[in-house]
Homo-oligomer: A and B are copies of this chain.
Amino acid sequence: MQRQVSLSPASLPLPLEGCGPLRPLHDSAAAPLRQQVFETVRSHGQISRIDVAKHLNVSPASVTTMVADLLAGGLLCEIPSPREPSGRGRPPVALAVRPEAGFVAGIKLSDLVHTGVVIDFAGRPVAECSLERPSLRTDVELLVNEADELFARLLAQSGMERSEISAIGLGIPGLVDHPRGVALWSPIIRGAEIPIADLMSRKMGVPVQVDNDANLLTLAELWYGAGRALPDFAVVTLEYGVGMGLVMNHRLYRGARSVGMELGHTKVQIDGALCRCGQRGCLEAYVSDYALVREASVALDMHRTASGSAQVILESLFDQAKAGNEAARTIFRRAGRFLAAGLANVINLFDPSLVILSGARMRYDYLYADEVLREVRELTLNTGRALPKIEINAWGDLVWARGAATLALDTVTRMRTGAEAAP
């Protein structure tokens, strides 16, 4: 099944049912406002025209025009307002996204388990599942097959056809050139410069966009999470590696040439610990899974074997620390200190109003114990103002996949509202 696909309005699914016909919207001058109106409705769930106008600080008349386009285009529908009726005149009506206006999938590939979701046009999950796999660096062909298997399961679960999915967002760890769809380097893929978006897209028969997984988690925070109300915030992720995402002025920032925010590989010690990237002294080499496992193998005789995965060792290390084992505690303590330095560096550089700590390793609360947060304060330049808020989000793997789906939904929305031309 080697199909050539591209992300165009023609490949969008026809409506199954609903309150309006589906057609692309082509008036490009109005597109930015139309997209803003649509996003306002989506982020509010239900909202009246007049409240959209207030929210965007534009005239009610221009909102009415945009809404007429979006209703005619089948992207929005009208529902009875949850607010009290006034008793006379027309009954109040609220706007909502027409959920069946389109569906997208999100897939996050990782070393131990792949996860996937299908979401509707309102951003609500329709299906979700995961696929366990051996923790190995593999050829991209194997990953493509695994992703396709996951996609098939998602389709089976949701009772949908491939042709009903408008786009797939794909998250992978490592260095990703998002505009080109190329994995420059990934800890889970053998080789370099892999045109992974294209390979996935041909296999799955649906347009695929790829990005660094931490960027996609950041997108999930921006759309659904703590960052929703904030123009600027930073996300630091701890898993097998250390990732970072940055939102500036309500938009994801990927670095000037699209491969930035590599906080995990900033140097926190000259000639320091060896990192899996081959260099020394990277932050990641002190705080990520493999750094903790390396330490555990030295002082606690825990070794990674075919049967004893990193995760098993980490759980045991965590249990021993909780039980009072000093060697185990000093391992987490050191990781916590370096994490504090990394977070302080993020604050010293970006001065964000919020830092979100995320990823599965947030289970290990040693990493953000009071003493670690105190150390962040001690390593952050004293501006006389309060430190930014630091929030812990120990969400599971599915939020990464949801972030990946958000990438796809964002692109499809821009195309459908006319704000972005089909490539």
Interface string of A247-285 (1 = CB under 8 A from B): 010000101111111110111111000000111010000
| A271: nearest chain-B partner, CB-CB | B337
* Pair B268/A267 contact, Cβ less than 8 Å: yes
- When chains A and B are docked, how far (Å) is the Cα of A185 from the Cα of B248? 25
User: Is residue A107 within 8 Å, beta carbon to beta carbon, of the partner chain?
Assistant: no
Given contacts A269-B269, A277-B382, A345-B267, contact A351 B184 (CB under 8 A): no
Chain B residues with CB under 8 Å of A184's CB are 383-385
10 A-B contacts (beta carbon < 8 Å): A248-B248, A257-B352, A257-B385, A260-B350, A263-B348, A266-B344, A266-B348, A268-B270, A277-B382, A349-B349
- The 4 A-B residue pairs with the shortest CB-CB distance, nearest first, are A232-B256, A255-B351, A260-B351, A266-B345
Report which of B261, B278, B349, B382 forms a contact with A185, defined as CB distance below 8 A: B382
Q: Confirm or deny: A56 has a beta carbon within 8 angstroms of a beta carbon on chain B.
A: no
Residue of B nearest to A182 (CB): B384
Pairwise interchain contact A277-B231, C-beta atoms closer than 8 A: no
Residue numbers in B under 8 Å from A270 (CB-CB): 268-269, 337-338, 341
Neighbouring B residues of A388 by C-beta, 8 Å: 257
Asked if A378 CB lies within 8 Å of chain B CBs, one says yes
Given A255-B351, A267-B379, A279-B379, 15 more A-B residue pairs with CB atoms under 8 Å apart are A175-B381, A184-B385, A231-B256, A232-B256, A259-B351, A260-B350, A265-B348, A266-B266, A266-B349, A267-B341, A267-B344, A277-B382, A278-B382, A281-B379, A345-B345
Interface residue A193 (Cβ < 8 Å from any Cβ of B): yes
Shortest CB-to-CB span from A22 to chain B, Å, is 33
Q: Counting CB contacts under 8 A, is A369 at the interface? A: no
How long is the Cα–Cα vector from A255 to B265 in the complex, in angstroms?
21
Closest Cβ of chain B to A357, distance in Å, is 17
Q: Which residue of B lies closest to A260 (CB)?
A: B351
Contact check, A185 vs B384: say whether CB atoms are below 8 A apart.
yes
Q: Does A353 contact B (CB under 8 A)?
A: yes
Q: Which residue of B lies closest to A256 (CB)?
A: B232
Which chain B residues lie closer than 8 Å to A279 at the CB level?
Answer: 378-379, 381
Q: Find out whether the CB atom of B383 lies under 8 angstroms from the CB atom of A259.
A: yes
| A422 on the B face (CB < 8 A) | no
Q: How far is the CA of A350 from the CA of B341 in the complex (A)?
A: 18
A58 within 8 A of B: no
Assembly CA distance A348 to B193 (angstroms): 18
Closest CB in chain B relative to A282 CB, distance in Å: 8
Q: Contacts of A233 on B, CB cut-off 8 Å?
A: 256
Give the residues in chain B near A136, CB-CB below 8 Å: none
A256 to B383, CA, bound (A): 14
Give a binary string over A322-335; 1 marks a CB under 8 Å from any B CB, 0 the rest.
00000000000000
Interface string of A118-159 (1 = CB under 8 A from B): 000000000000000000000000000000000000000000
